[in-house]
Amino acid sequence: MLTVYRPPWRVDIDWRPGVTRLLSASVLARTVTRALEAADAPAPAAVGLILTDDRELAVLNATHMGETGPTDVLSFPLTSPQSSPFVLPPGRRSHLGDIVVSVERAIEQAEQGRGGQTGDVRWSPADELRLLVTHGALHLCGLDHGRPAEETAMRALERTLIDAD
């Protein structure tokens, strides 16, 4: 695991063995922290980012979402955006949660022109990975896309963050 500090954030990045490294740790950490800042996440805080494959995402998807097969990204927030912040000792960070991304799925979606969360964007696997990481970080902060208005707002914010990079 590699830890990257981008004050007031800490991003713990875990590349699973054999997973293609499409982006550097510094780019991944910057992607996470930009999304946290845009969503007004409580700070200081830490986030876990796990870069893995379809097999692991399929297990997590079945276990936690009741869905069969792999998905591209899952987020596991540890606190509710509505909950009151808990008090930590000075110098300690809360852990907002973990983002788990299938790099294998990011590559496939990009290569087949099924990227961009809408399934119709053609761009590089690295751009697709940045989008999935952004999407996961926004979910940690309570953003969702279950209703049309939420989806429109979340997609617009994702696009703004990706385009700003």
Domain containing 8 — which CATH number? Answer: 3.40.390.30
Q: 142 or 113: which carries more pLDDT confidence?
A: 142
Helix 25-38 to helix 148-164 angle (10° resolution) is 140
Print the domain residue range for 121: 2-164
Beta-carbon contacts of residue 97 (< 8 Å; ≥ 6 apart): 47, 48, 75, 76, 77, 78, 79, 140
Rounded Cα distance, 103 and 92, in Å: 31
Nearest to 35 by CA among 84, 93, 96, 123: 96
User: What is the tens place of the pLDDT at every residue in 54-106?
Assistant: 999 999 999 999 999 999 999 999 876 545 455 566 667 889 999 999 999 99
What are the pLDDT digits (tens) for 125-135? 999 999 999 99
Work out the pLDDT band at 112, boundaries 50, 70, 90: confident
Domain count, the chain: 1
% of the chain residues with pLDDT over 70: 92
User: Which pLDDT belongs to residue 81?
Assistant: 53
pLDDT given at position 84? 47
Mean pLDDT computed over 33-43: 94
Looking at the predicted structure, is the pLDDT value of residue 120 above 80? no
Residue count (the chain): 165
